[in-house]
Structure 1
Amino acid sequence: MPDNDRVATETMVPVNGIELCVATFGEPGDPALLLIAGASGSMDWWDDEFCRRLAAGGRFVIRYDHRDTGRSTCFPAGDPPYSDVDLAHDALGVLDALGVHQAHLVGLSMGGGLAQRIAVERPHRVLSLTLMATSTVPPAYSVSPPATPASEPQWSDRRSAVDRIVAGVRGLGGPFTADEPHLRRLAERVFDRTHDMAASQTNHFRCAGGPPLRERLGEITAPTLILHGTLDPLFPPPHAETLRAEIPGARLVWLDGVGHEFPPTAVWTQVIDEIIDQAGRRTQPA
């Protein structure tokens, strides 16, 4: 498995009155591809080598830390003063800060929900849409937040926090999930880059929801690809099938043996090829 300890150059950018940490791969003149992570997910979960391979396909790849993750602005744990609409606007703000008007969006879990919102409410910003491990329901609100209160010391203790992150990833994964030593190194990197682990691990699950989107999915005009693990325990296969039915012209590609997780290396070739192919598609004239 490629080592993920090498960190791409990171830049802090002003977005919507806060600061977000951004990293890019590839040439700025290539079509932009924005990676939007899931709830509590910093940019670290988009593996460096995965991003490089996407960039090698002729894409300007952008990843970033959501607010309350990584090096981005954090708010007090347990009472976030923002909604998922703000999180979607953050994604657009990252593009604005980089001078990018349109991008191919790749969203995972909650990030897939944010990408759906952008595709519905700001269709002129979206070149194509790739939805991974997500659903028509708001992904951040369909699961319970971590059971341990944010005030308890586990998240502030490096070893305890790393143990909990690794256990969470393995619990939602499948046979291709990274081995424990790799996950521990990644979780340690996440911990070391994060301002407030308690906020990172709780706030996205407690933030307010914006206007419902499901009845508007039929308005999506961007070419849409759905990548979904056959073993996803959080959003079983019917979630992906419903997405395909409700988004006009959407393609559904199954990732055999994959759970609810960032793409494991065993399926990188399939996932990267599909994303690059999707980013080359265009909306057909009516």
Structure 2
Amino acid sequence: MPDNEQVVTETMMPVNGIELCVETFGEPGDPALLLIAGATGSMDWWDDEFCRRLAAGGRHVIRYDHRDTGRSTSFPAGDPPYSDVDLAHDALGVLDALGIHQAHLVGLSMGGALAQRIAVERPHRVLSLSLMATSTVPPAYEMSPPALGTDPSPQWSDRRSAVNSIVAAVRRLGGPFTADDPHLRRLAERVFDRTHNMAASQTNHLRCAGGPPVRDRLAEITAPTLILHGTLDPVFPPPHAEALCTEIPGARLVWLEGVGHEFPPSAVWCQVIDEIIDQAGRRTQPA
């Protein structure tokens, strides 16, 4: 196999009594970098090419479907039998299933909240933190669907209705660099086609219980921390990022101009990827 050819695998793995769908990019011998998506977000939202470029920077990139998204185990819609603590343990369980003890964590929105919890409660597992579109306050999954831009009443079992709702939500929360509608529609169709239960996928994270708060423990975080935040984020406006930067010792705040509450649009990939790779090369701060 040519040296520059990326190895991509997708597999079902037993994690915490359920099955999660996991996909990797790059060489297993490189430092691990775990991508943790936001509420309702399957791995599909971490763009394939974005993952390949991170892997080309010398990282073993891992993305996965949260429970209740994509091909991972799904529960009945409306009453999820788990909490955000379980979702955080799922992230660690993915690493365990791959035989990885430590990783660089990259979390977006809810994923950023989960990464904060892991950094506080399991600091020995975290090499660095990159937190995107997130906050110190109760995370996105504790907000109402309208606050997230999610239509609370689409026909999730109908492909066209579900795709239209997802595209509309992304556009409401995005900015001038958000992908165009044809691109978003193809992505939403991929999400729909990979998902066991769209109603559960789009609602259960928003209704799951919260675990013990960790905000008052953010000062305990010792992992080098990068905060990437869109200047147009309507869910967590800029003061949220500034507060997060203040409360985590030594954190760096990097603004993404013209970006909303969204996975990184391609216009800022170079900036985001360079920052994440640079962050993953920084030394852990002394305790």
Task: Give the TM-score band, short-chain normalised.
Answer: over 0.9
Deviations 1:119-145 (A, max 9, x none): 000000000000000000122344203
Deviations 1:232-265 (A, max 9, x none): 0000000000000000000000000000000000
What SS class does the counterpart of residue 156 from structure 1 fall into? coil
Q: How does 1:58-69 map to 2 (within 5 A)?
A: 58-69=58-69
Residues 43 and 63, structure 2, Cα contact 8 Å, conserved in 1: yes
For 2:176 and 2:12, the matched residues in 1 are separated by 36
Residues 226 and 240, structure 1, Cα contact 8 Å, conserved in 2: yes
Between the two proteins, the alignment pairs up a number of residues equal to 277
* 1:163/1:8 CA distance change after superposition, 3 Å: farther
Residues 134 and 240, structure 1, Cα contact 8 Å, conserved in 2: yes
Q: How does 1:1-286 map to 2 (within 5 A)?
A: 8-145=8-145, 146=150, 148-149=152-153, 154-285=155-286
Residues 40 and 69, structure 1, Cα contact 8 Å, conserved in 2: yes
Residues 133 and 228, structure 2, Cα contact 8 Å, conserved in 1: yes
What is the RMSD computed on CA atoms of the aligned residues? Answer: 1.2
Deviations 1:199-224 (A, max 9, x none): 00000000000001110000000000
CA apart distance, 1:43: 0.1
Amino acid at match of 1:12: M
Amino acid at match of 1:187: A
For 2:141 and 2:205, the matched residues in 1 are separated by 9
Structure 1 residue runs of 4+, over 3 Å off? none
Amino acid at match of 1:277: D
For 1:79 and 1:228, the matched residues in 2 are separated by 31
CA apart distance, 1:72: 0.1
For 1:120 and 1:74, the matched residues in 2 are separated by 28
Amino acid at match of 2:81: P
For 1:9 and 1:114, the matched residues in 2 are separated by 24
Amino acid at match of 1:64: Y
For 1:12 and 1:118, the matched residues in 2 are separated by 23
What SS class does the counterpart of residue 160 from structure 2 fall into? helix
CA apart distance, 1:231: 0.3
Residue identity (%): 88
Residues 31 and 59, structure 1, Cα contact 8 Å, conserved in 2: yes
Amino acid at match of 1:170: R
CA apart distance, 1:285: 3.2
- Structure 2 unaligned spans of 5+: 1-6
Amino acid at match of 1:204: H
Residues 8 and 48, structure 1, Cα contact 8 Å, conserved in 2: no
CA apart distance, 1:8: 4.7
TM-score (norm 2): 0.95
What SS class does the counterpart of residue 222 from structure 2 fall into? coil
More displaced 10-residue stretch of structure 1: 139-148 or 155-164: 139-148
For 2:241 and 2:271, the matched residues in 1 are separated by 18
Deviations 1:46-90 (A, max 9, x none): 000000000000000000000000000000000000000000000
For 1:147 and 1:70, the matched residues in 2 are separated by 19
What SS class does the counterpart of residue 51 from structure 1 fall into? helix
- Structure 1 unaligned spans of 5+: 1-6
CA apart distance, 1:147: 5.1
* 1:178/1:138 CA distance change after superposition, 3 Å: same
